[in-house]
Structure 1
Amino acid sequence: MKYPKINQELFILNRKNFSKQLKSNSLAIFQANDEFPRSGDQSFIFKQNPDLFYLSGIDQEQTILLLYPDCPNPLYRQVLFLRQTNDYIKVWEGYKYTKEEAKETSGIDSIFWLEDFDNILHSIVNYADNIYLNTNENDRYAHTVPYRDIRFIAQMQSKYPLHHYERAAPIMRELRAIKSEIEIELTKKACGMTRDAFIRVLKFVKPGVKEYEIEAEIIHEFIRQGGTGHAYTPIIASGHNANILHYNDNNQECKDGDVILFDFGGEYANYNADMSRSIPVNGKFTKRQKEVYNAVLHVMKAATRLLVTGTVWNEYHEEVGEIMTEQLIGLGLLTTTEVKNQNPAWPAYKKYFMHGTSHHLGIDVHDFASRYTPFAAGNILTVEPGIYIPEEGLGIRLENNILITNSGNIDLMADIPLEADEIEDIMN
C-alpha cells in the first residue's frame, strides 16, 4: 500500500458497532471483491470491497472476514482468511500480507489461510441461528454481473438450505454514513491532494492545451503524494463538453474564450475527495461567464448553509431547486411565467440544472447511505450545483465536500480556490 498503516482502532470499533446490530447467535461473512479480467492475460487494478475494508482494513484480494460474536469457540468469533503467498506469487506479484501484518492491520487475532475457510465455517455454522451475507445495495447500482457476493450466497444457500439468512447491507448503510475521526482525517488528506492538484492545474492551463494534458498534471500530483490515484474517472470538459454531465473522453483542445469544467478527486487509503471547479482557459472570465459562475456560487453557498443535522434529503433538494430557480430567472434563462406553469414533477430549473445537489462521500465516492434518514453529525456530503447552457457552449459546476457536526458544518475544501477573482489571480 502507498499509504501508511491506518490505526487499527478504526476497524476494531467498526466491527464492534456492526456486531451490536446483529441478532443473537448470528454469523456474518464478508468477501473481497473480484479480480476482473481486462484482457487476455491481465486484470484491472484491484479495488477492495468497501464493506470488508471498513470492517478489517485489509486491502488485498481473495480475503474473507467471518464474524460470529456468540460462537461457542472463542477462536472463531472474529476470523480473517487470507490468500497464502508462495515463491511464485512473491516473484510475479510481490507483497502479500503475512498473518502478523494482517493482525496488526485489523486488530483480529485469528488469522488463517483461505484454504482453511470451508472447514472452519462448517465446524461452526450449524451452531448459528442466523447467517448475515452481504451484497451491493447502493441504490445507484444496477446488478448485472454475478460478482463474488452473489455467487457466494448461492453456494451458502445450496450447502445450508435450512439456515435463516439476513442482509448485512442495511446495517452497513447506517454505520458507514457516520464518519469517525480517523475517517475524517483520511478524507481531509484526499481533499488536500485534490487542492494541490487543482492549484497545479491553475498554473498550467492556457489556450491550446489538451484536456488529457491537464488530466496528466492531476494524476501526477495524486501519485506524488501517495494517493491511490483518481477517486473516479476525471472529467476535464472544455467548452461545449461541459454540457455532457459524465464526459470523460478528455481528448479535446482547450480554446481561448472557453471555460473548462473540472470534476475530479483524489483517493487516499480508500477514502475519496470529490471536487468540481470551472475556470477560464485564458485566465479571464467574460462578463457573461462570470455572471453564470457567480449564480452557481450563490446556490452552492446557500445549499451549504442548509446542510445541518436533521435536514431531510428531499426537502433539502426542493429548497435548493427554489434557490436555483431565482438565479436562472436573474440570468434570463427562465421567466416567471415558465416557473408558474412548470410541471411539479420536473420543475423548470431542471432544464439547466438536471442533477442532484448532494450525495454522501466516503469509501465510495457515492457513499452507501439512506436517502430517507435525516442528515446527522458525522455525515460527509458533497454540494455541487451547476448550470448548463448548451446554446452558449457553457457549463459551470462547483463542488466542495462538507462535514456535518452538532455545531454546524465544516467545509473540508475551504482552502481550495473558489471565488472567480481568486481563480483569475492565480492563473495570471
Structure 2
Amino acid sequence: MADQLLRAENMTVGYGGVPLIRDIALSVSGGEILTLVGPNGSGKSTILKSLIRELALLGGTVYLDGRDSSRLSAAETARTLAVMMTGRIAPERMTCWDVAAAGRYPYTGRLGILGAEDREKVCEALALVHAEELADRDFTCISDGQRQRVLLARAICQQPRVLILDEPTSFLDIRYKLELLTILKNLVRERSVAVVLSLHELDLAQKISDRVICVANGEIARVGTPEEVFTDGSVQRLYGLTAGSYDERFGSLELEPVRGAPQALVIGGGGSGIALYRALQRHGIPFAAGVLHENDMDFPVARALACEIVSEQPYQPIGDAAQSRARALMHVCRCVYAPLRTFGPMNEGNRLLIAEAAENGWLVSAISPKKPDAT
C-alpha cells in the first residue's frame, strides 16, 4: 500500500446524512489514471467531492499519501492534492497568470507573496499547458477551453502528488479535449502523479485510463482495466441503453438502424463502407450490407446500422451460401453501393457481385433521401 497515494476504505457518500453509495473501496498509485464513468446522477461527482472533503464522509476513511485525510491541515492537503472541479469560475480583475499563480499559495507565507521560485513554477505550468500567450489576458475574457488549460496550470502549480478532476473535458472541443488529456498523460508518465477523474466520453476513458470504476444505481458496478470493464455489453447495461448501440472494441456509438425491408445493398469492407452506412442511416434508407468478414473493420458499424448483414467467417473465402444471399438481396433491391475497390482471394465473391450489379445497371454512386432509382 506504500505507493497508493490516495485510498478510500469503506467510504459511504451522500448528502444531508442520506447515503447515496455505501462501502466504496478505491485506490490510485503514482503514475496511474483512475477514471469514474457512469450515467448522470449516478454519484461520480459525489465520490470525488467526498475524496477531497468538500462533502463530509458518511462512513469510512480516505487516506492521502498514507495518512488519514481528515487529520491533515488545509495547507498539508494542498501540498499533496490538487483539484479541478466542474464549474465556470469568474474571478474578477484577475489575469490568467494570477489564476494560475493561486496554486502557489500553499507554499508562500501568510502574506501570500510570491518569490522568484514561485513565479518560475507559474511560468513552467502555463508553458506545460500551452497557455503562455494567455498570461496577461483577463481570465473572464478567454474561451472555455483556454480557461480549462489555465485551471489545470493552477493545479500543476501546487506540485501535487494527487490530481482530482471532475469532468475536465466539459466545454471543450475535440482539439482541447485531446490536448488536455495528453497533458494529463504526460504528468502521469513524467512526474508520477496519481490522477482520479470522471468522464462522460467513454471512448476517451478507454484510451487514457489505467483502471476504470463504473458507478450506477447506488453502487460500484464494475472495476478493472478498460479491457476488463468495457466488454460483453457492459456499457449497454451500465447506461441502460434502449436505443442505439455502443461497440466497446472501437469506442463507437451508433444510432438505431432504419427499420424495414432493405432498399439497397452495400458491398464494402476494409473501412470503405463505414461513412456510407452512416449516410444511409441518416437519410432514413434501410439497407443490407455484405458480404463482410466478421473480423473486417466495417463489420461492427454494419452490424449496428444495417437491417440485414451477410457475413463470412474470418480468413475464409466468401462461400456459396453468403454469395447467394447477397445476390438475392441485390436482385430484390436493384440498388447497389460498392465503395469496395480492393479485391483478393478472400473477397473474390464481392468482385463478382459488383460486376453483376454493373452489368444490370444497378450500381449507384449518390444517396437520395428516398430510394434511389436504378441507373
Same fold (TM over 0.5): no
TM-score, normalising length: structure 2 = 0.30
Larger Rg over CA atoms: 2
